[in-house]
Amino acid sequence: MNELFGATRDVVRERYALRTPAGFVASNLPGWINVTAIVQISPAMGARLSQISVTFQKGGEGRGNTGALEYFVYVLGGKCSAKAGGKKKGLAAGGYVFIPAQTAFQFQGAEEGTQLLIFQKTFEPLAGQKKPEVLFGDEKDAAGQPFLGNDDAILQKLLPDHPRFDLAVNIFTYQPGATLPFVETHIMEHGLLMLGGQGVYRLEADYHPVTAGDVIWMAPYCPQWFVAMGKTAASYIYYKDVNRNPM
Ligand code: UGY
Ligand code: MN
């Protein structure tokens, strides 16, 4: 189905944004060459995180140092090699690496078309806790837990549930008809990418049809709810800030 020219599902509001691939425009990212980068979410829209997709062209690579930020890098498709803090690993779809602040990194050797999703946040140290270390993982090793007892809404946590970490990145998979059990309103902020399927997202008092490839930013305290619809499961990967004092 074609959208009428001049029409879009994109909305960028003060407390949330829905962005769709049809509206994406590429940016240049310092340290990254021969890639197409889309800054999906950033402080420029009022967020305290950045969410960026990077698609490798031939000879594409990215290198730098995380500085004050920490990165969570998830492979959406394809293959590449990742180096961080002296550790090196090949990553394929579903693989990921957490890169702490003040750490050198390099992504290279990517198959053309390999796509990464990167969440970035300013690291907030916590007195008495060590800084987290580089961590490689794969979504297939993250056990799925029924969300609040619902076997049709499965949550996979990709990072350890430990106060050392000030962010969480999870994958939520809903069978058709499954929902978030109630309209959540919470201090944590979300950056989200729809990985598959479709459904309806409630954001504040608005209901939006969403599908694979769509991006949502939810500011702290943005009321939120989701129902999966259609014939296949719907899933999304999302970021949240956790484990720190509100002041
Ligand atoms: O972790 C969460 O806050 C999650 N239940 N929120 C969401 O999926 N919008
Ligand atoms: Mn939530």
CA-nearest of 176, 156, 170 to 233 is 176
Distance from residue 1's CA to the centre of ligand 1 (Å): 30
Q: Give the residue among 103, 177, 175, 108 at the shortest CA–CA distance from 135.
A: 103
Pocket probe mutation, ligand 1, options 190, 193, 214, 218, max atoms within 8 Å of Cβ:
190
If pLDDT is split at 50, 70 and 90, which confidence band does 103 have? very high
Q: Is the CB of 240 under 6 A from ligand 1?
A: yes
202 lines ligand 1 (CB under 6 A): no
| pLDDT at residue 3, as a whole number | 77
Reported as a single tens digit per residue, the pLDDT across 80-98 is 999 999 999 999 999 999 9
pLDDT at residue 101, as a whole number: 98
**Would you say the CB of residue 242 lies under 6 angstroms from ligand 1?**
no
Instruction: Say whether pTM exceeds 0.85.
Output: yes
Give the residue whose CA is nearest to atom 1 of ligand 1. Answer: 240
Pocket test for ligand 1, best of 172, 182, 189 (most atoms within 8 A of CB): 172
Q: Which residue's CA lies nearest to atom 5 of ligand 1?
A: 180
Closest residue by Cα to atom 2, ligand 1, is 240
Split at pLDDT 50, 70, 90, the class of 1 is: low
**pLDDT score for 4:** 87
Are 189 and 49 contacting, i.e. CB atoms less than 8 angstroms apart?
A: yes
> What confidence score (pLDDT) does residue 41 get?
99
How far apart CA 139 and CA 77 sit, in angstroms, is 13
In this model, does residue 2 exceed pLDDT 70?
no
Query: Ligand 1 in contact with 184 (CB < 6 A)?
Result: yes
Please list the alpha-helical segments (H only) found in 90-237.
none
Ligand 1 mutation pick, 156, 180, 202, 215, max ligand atoms within 8 A of CB = 180
Stated as kind and residue range, the H or E segment containing 19 is strand 16-19
| Tens-place pLDDT, residues 132-151 | 999 999 999 999 999 999 99
Q: Per residue in 22-70, pLDDT tens?
A: 999 999 999 999 999 999 999 999 999 999 999 999 999 999 999 999 9
Cβ contact 219:46 at 8 Å:
yes
- Residue 174: which pLDDT band, with cuts at 50, 70 and 90? very high
| pLDDT tens profile 183-239 | 999 999 999 999 999 999 999 999 999 999 999 999 999 999 999 999 999 999 999
CB–CB of 76/131 below 8 Å?
no
Centroid of ligand 2 to alpha carbon of 221 (angstroms): 9
Residue 140's SS3 state is: helix
